[in-house]
Amino acid sequence: MSPLDRLQIFHRVAELASFSQAALSLNLPKASASTAVQQLETQLGTRLLHRTTRRVQLTQDGQAFYERSKDVLADMDELQAMFQQQRATALTGRIRIDMSTGLARNVVIPRLPELLAAHPLLEVELSSTERRVDLVREGFDCVVRTGTVGDTSLITRPLGALRQLNCASPGYIQAFGMPQTLADLSAHRLIHFVGTLGSKSAGFEYSDETGAPRSITMAGAVTVNNAEAYTAACLAGLGIIQVPQVGESEHLRSGALVEVLPQYLAPPMPLNLVYANRRNLSQRVRVVMDWLATVIGQAQVGAA
């Protein structure tokens, strides 16, 4: 049995959480499936699966190996298909990407049918979260990140910068008035956004006349940690938010939100496509990253 065969058996066992079901699906004796995984564990020098009489579960090392080795199997599928005429121009295999909730909902997902129509054999796993995922350990091919990328082991491809807006709901403005100056903010409320609940809010951010970043501490009864809740709280009239323009264009057009203090905007948020320099990129990853850069770039132009 080849190393690739053992890897495929391990993946099937992990996905089905059962040696018996995995063996049945692969038309193998159960003993062969068990032996293959044992040989793989011996080769790697670590236990990949917890085995009990009732269930099979990935260990921590097994989960990490499972995520990373998905790419190996997908690359082998791509290599095996590269000389097949019917698949000569199509991307195959899985790609896992991560980005903020707002960017996924407003920019990428609406355009995703175009990508899948062009490459129907492609499988996209899209994670949308405000936390900083571990790109390598969690098996992501690439992530779209705002702000500075501190990990020098990762490759960063700049995608531009997201223009920020200050927004409030008409109901909030009716209750608290339209702020005209920074001094007016002492009588207003800010919806606080933090990456981790319990951490300190940055306050109301803006650039001074020299372009230097500044902030003002503001009152506010509500703190959130994801983009969907941030917008929802603003629509509910709970305070002012500072958000990328591309995420709120629809609400601004409909009048559900209005812009406030346009002369005092937070600095634009740098946007980067980030990926690991652990191996040569497959064709599907390169193509999808180029597609993401185009889609996000067009969205920024449209919102300008």
Q: What is the CATH number of the domain that holds 138?
A: 3.40.190.10
Residue 69 has pLDDT above 50, yes or no: yes
Q: Are residues 195 and 177 in the same domain?
A: yes
What is the pLDDT at residue 77? 66
Residue 23 has pLDDT above 90, yes or no: no
What is the pLDDT at residue 3? 85
Query: Does residue 84 lie within any of the structural domains?
Result: no
Q: Are residues 262 and 277 in the same domain?
A: no
Q: Are residues 257 and 183 in the same domain?
A: yes
Query: Using 50, 70 and 90 to split pLDDT, how confident is the model at 257?
Result: very high
What is the pLDDT at residue 109? 94
Averaged pLDDT for residues 52-67: 86
What is the pLDDT at residue 150? 67
Q: Taking the CB of residue 150, how many other CB atoms lie within 10 A of it?
A: 7
Q: Are residues 228 and 285 in the same domain?
A: no
Averaged pLDDT for residues 112-140: 85
Q: Are residues 290 and 236 in the same domain?
A: no
Averaged pLDDT for residues 158-162: 87
∠ Cα 68 74 79 (to 5°): 130
Query: Does residue 294 lie within any of the structural domains?
Result: yes
Q: Are residues 168 and 261 in the same domain?
A: yes
Q: Are residues 231 and 172 in the same domain?
A: yes
**How do the residues of the chain divide into helix, strand and coil, expressed in percent and rounded to 5?**
45, 25, 35
- The beta strands (E) that lie in the chain are given as 49-51, 56-58, 93-99, 122-128, 142-146, 154-162, 164-168, 192-193, 204-207, 213-216, 223-224, 241-244, 258-259, 269-276
Q: Are residues 154 and 172 in the same domain?
A: no
Q: Which of 117-131, 141-155, 187-201, 211-225 has the lowest mean pLDDT?
A: 141-155
What is the pLDDT at residue 278? 52
Pairing of strands 241-244, 164-168: antiparallel
- Split into its structural domains, the chain has a count of 3
Domain assignment of residue 250, given as a range: 164-267
Query: Does residue 221 lie within any of the structural domains?
Result: yes
Q: Are residues 111 and 67 in the same domain?
A: no
Query: Does residue 80 lie within any of the structural domains?
Result: no
Q: What is the CATH number of the domain that holds 18?
A: 1.10.10.10
Q: Are residues 153 and 17 in the same domain?
A: no
Q: Are residues 31 and 177 in the same domain?
A: no
Query: Using 50, 70 and 90 to split pLDDT, how confident is the model at 85?
Result: very low
What is the pLDDT at residue 26? 82
Q: Which of 19-23, 58-62, 152-156 has the lowest mean pLDDT?
A: 152-156
Residue 165 has pLDDT above 90, yes or no: yes
Averaged pLDDT for residues 114-132: 88
Residue 88 has pLDDT above 50, yes or no: no
Query: Using 50, 70 and 90 to split pLDDT, how confident is the model at 232?
Result: very high
Query: Does residue 95 lie within any of the structural domains?
Result: yes
pTM of the model: 0.63
Averaged pLDDT for residues 207-227: 91
